[in-house]
Homo-oligomer: A and B are copies of this chain.
């Protein structure tokens, strides 16, 4: 009797096999599986591969799986149906259900049925959770329409600020060198056609070869520059924290008390961001509920699958799950 937990991400897909007492007995990673940033076929292949390898590591097979949860962005959206048929073709049966990744992320951080989760990785969204269901969602609208304060939002501003500095349109910033480096652009002091700096022409050519979401990869540069006291970078970080707090404030309700779970690299790798958003959560609620950063949604997917299969997930089980997952991954 095995429980399957899968966490599908834009960078990698992770699967874990868990016993009813919360012990993780198999774990595997595969390629990225977010059907909005890769294809549905790639997503299905990544899920199947991670699942297969985790089961093999656990000495189990698909037939042993009594319940499973796949945490994925935009679960239930159009991609869901095609993904489900691709998985069914690979033998992944319907005891394995999809849940939206913000819910699995929330359940990775707490056993409290009510609370809040804010995720800021490539994208950004905040959700109010009631009885382990998504009761209110703000943002998560993608790079063009939303994702305010996300990795994309930060990286996009970094590249624009670098170009403004290069073209003397904006203030000088230490962002310029790392942006050029990450784009693979050699600086060239001369001006080219139409009297534009040749470096700017090269940046332009390099940026339009990227998919827009790839600008999220420029976010770490901004935190480094802010730590070195760069005013331009600092203003971007400050703006991102303000945006994420605005997104969170939209879903906070005085009727729902509970912890705040933080997910995504912008919140979990950056203490200054976690502190800012945590402080704003305490201001909004006037309470001192825990603020819990989590690595991803895989533990939460296991928690939901365990509950759905009738296991009463208590604190020792939850702690065992986290401990055994940490030792195996």
**A134 interfacial contact with B, CB 8 Å:** yes
Knowing A145-B203, A145-B204 are in contact, say whether A169-B138 is a contact too (CB < 8 A). yes
**A271 interfacial contact with B, CB 8 Å:** no
Knowing A194-B134, A195-B136, A247-B169 are in contact, say whether A200-B144 is a contact too (CB < 8 A). no
Q: Please pick, from B145, B215, B246, the residue contacting A163 in the complex, using a CB distance under 8 A.
A: B145
Residue of B nearest to A210 (CB): B144
Question: Could you mark each residue 208-236 of chain A with 1 if its beta carbon is under 8 Å from any beta carbon of chain B, else 0?
Answer: 10001001000000000000000000000
Contact indicator B144/A246 (Cβ below 8 Å) = no
Contact indicator B137/A160 (Cβ below 8 Å) = no
Q: Please pick, from B127, B146, B168, the residue contacting A194 in the complex, using a CB distance under 8 A.
A: B127
Contact indicator A137/B208 (Cβ below 8 Å) = no
Contact indicator A167/B250 (Cβ below 8 Å) = yes
CA distance A142 to B146 in the complex (A): 19
Measured between beta carbons, the chain B residues less than 8 angstroms from A135 are: 195
Q: Please pick, from B127, B163, B195, the residue contacting A137 in the complex, using a CB distance under 8 A.
A: B195
**A128 interfacial contact with B, CB 8 Å:** yes
Contact indicator B160/A138 (Cβ below 8 Å) = no
Contact indicator B160/A146 (Cβ below 8 Å) = yes
Contact indicator A145/B207 (Cβ below 8 Å) = yes
Contact indicator B144/A208 (Cβ below 8 Å) = yes
Contact indicator B246/A141 (Cβ below 8 Å) = no
A74 → chain B, closest Cβ, in Å? Answer: 9
**A193 interfacial contact with B, CB 8 Å:** yes
CA distance A194 to B137 in the complex (A): 6
CA distance A159 to B146 in the complex (A): 10
23 intermolecular pairs with C-beta atoms under 8 Å apart: A76-B193, A102-B194, A127-B195, A134-B194, A134-B195, A135-B195, A136-B194, A136-B196, A137-B195, A137-B196, A138-B168, A138-B169, A139-B167, A141-B163, A141-B204, A145-B163, A145-B203, A145-B207, A167-B250, A169-B246, A169-B247, A169-B250, A170-B246
